[in-house]
Amino acid sequence: MSDNTARVRTIFRSKTKKTLDKIEDPRETLDDSYEQQLKLLQQVRQAVADVATAKKRIDLQGQEMGARYQRLGEQAREAMAQGREDLARAALERRALLESQVAKLQDQFNSLQQQTAQLQSRERQLSEQIAAFRIEKETIKATYTASAAQVKANEAVAGIGASVDDIGASLDRARDRVAQMQARAAATDELLASGALKDLTASPDADIERQLAQLSAQAEIDRQLKAMQQGDAAGEGTTRQRSDGAEGWLGIGQG
């Protein structure tokens, strides 16, 4: 696989991830919907409280008017007992006017009573719906989270599998470069040994010294061979002393 192909694959994975990240997370959507329902339930409860407050205010006003209505009746009877028909009539007239006002107040109270019952029923239904929705929401979120974790694990495994080819190609290129460098090192060693390449770190007369060293080594070998052929005892002793001396292997070549 070429470097361009690997680069294209990397870019494609990056763009794909960005595209997937833009997909709406259903868990956030469910949480938002749940929050909206809670706000609606709060509004309904607030409405129930407002209606209950209004109904209580009318109830207190009705109780006050009821007490006045009863007091006017008592005043009318007391006036008649004292022979004051005119006062009794005035009390009854006020009582009749108050009765019509109480009737209107009763209509308002009954209306608020119905509204309260409706709102309370709606509140119970909404509470039950929200409770059921919450259970369903958490179930879906848990399932989605588990699925998302599985997808990430699968993608990780797939990513490792896809990169095996890239790793293999890198190893092959590294092996080729090592082999090339080893071959080049061997070639330069041969060129230095043959004199085709000049060792810039060696002394100017190193070639003469090398040849003299080779001649000296060859002369020493010829001497040892001649000594062996003639059975020179002194030569054997020297050889034995060099190899079997007290110094052992440290004495080799030191004679």
The 10s digit of each residue's pLDDT in 13-51 is: 555 555 555 567 888 888 888 899 999 999 989 999 999
Between the two ends of the chain, the Cα-to-Cα distance in Å is: 63
Mean of the pLDDT values across residues 151-168? 67
Q: How many CB atoms lie within 10 A of CB 108?
A: 14
**Confidence band of 164 (pLDDT split at 50, 70, 90):** low
- Given a contact cutoff of 8 angstroms between Cβ atoms, the answer to whether 51 and 101 are in contact is no
pLDDT tens-digit map of 238-248: 445 444 544 55
pLDDT higher for 178 or 28? Answer: 28
Calculate what percentage of the chain has a pLDDT beyond 90.
22
What pLDDT score was predicted for residue 198?
61
In this prediction, residue 166 has a pLDDT band, given cuts at 50, 70 and 90, of low
Pair 89, 17: CB distance under 8 Å? no
Lowest mean pLDDT, pick from 56-70, 82-96, 154-168: 154-168
CB-CB contact of 80 with 88 (8 Å)? yes
Pair of tokens at residue 10: 């990397």
Using alpha carbons only, give the angle 199, 201, 203 rounded to the nearest 5 degrees.
Answer: 90
pLDDT digits 0-9 by tens, 216-243: 878 888 888 888 888 754 445 444 544 4
Whether the predicted model's global pTM rises above the 0.85 cut: no
| d(C-alpha 44, C-alpha 35), whole Å | 14
pLDDT at position 209, please?
74
pLDDT in tens, 94-117: 989 988 899 999 999 999 999 999
How far apart, in whole angstroms, are the C-alpha atoms of residue 102 and residue 107? 9
Q: Sign of the C-alpha dihedral, residues 185, 187, 188, 189?
A: positive
pLDDT at 199: 58
- Fill in the amino acid letter for 154: N
Which of the pair, 69 or 11, is modelled with greater confidence?
Answer: 69
Helix/strand/coil for 9:
helix
Distances in Å between the Cα of 136 and the Cα atoms of 3, 34, 123, 132, 179 are 49, 11, 20, 6, 64
Contacts of 27 by beta carbon, 8 Å cutoff, 6+ apart: 140, 141, 144, 145
Domain parsing of the chain, residue ranges: 3-191, 206-251
pLDDT in the model for residue 29: 86
Higher pLDDT, residue 109 or 12: 109
Are 148 and 141 within 8 A, CB to CB? no
Which range among 80-89, 115-124, 170-179, 226-235 shows the weakest confidence by mean pLDDT?
A: 226-235
For residue 197, what is the DSSP state?
Answer: S
Conformational region of residue 195, where left means phi above 0, alpha means psi within -120 to 50, and beta covers everything else: left
For the cut 70, the answer to whether the pLDDT of residue 202 exceeds it is no
Helices (H), the chain: 3-21, 26-81, 85-194, 206-230, 233-244
Task: Please check the confidence at residue 140 and state whether its pLDDT lies above 80.
Answer: yes
Q: How big is the CA angle at 72 (ends 70 and 77), to the nearest 5 degrees?
A: 100
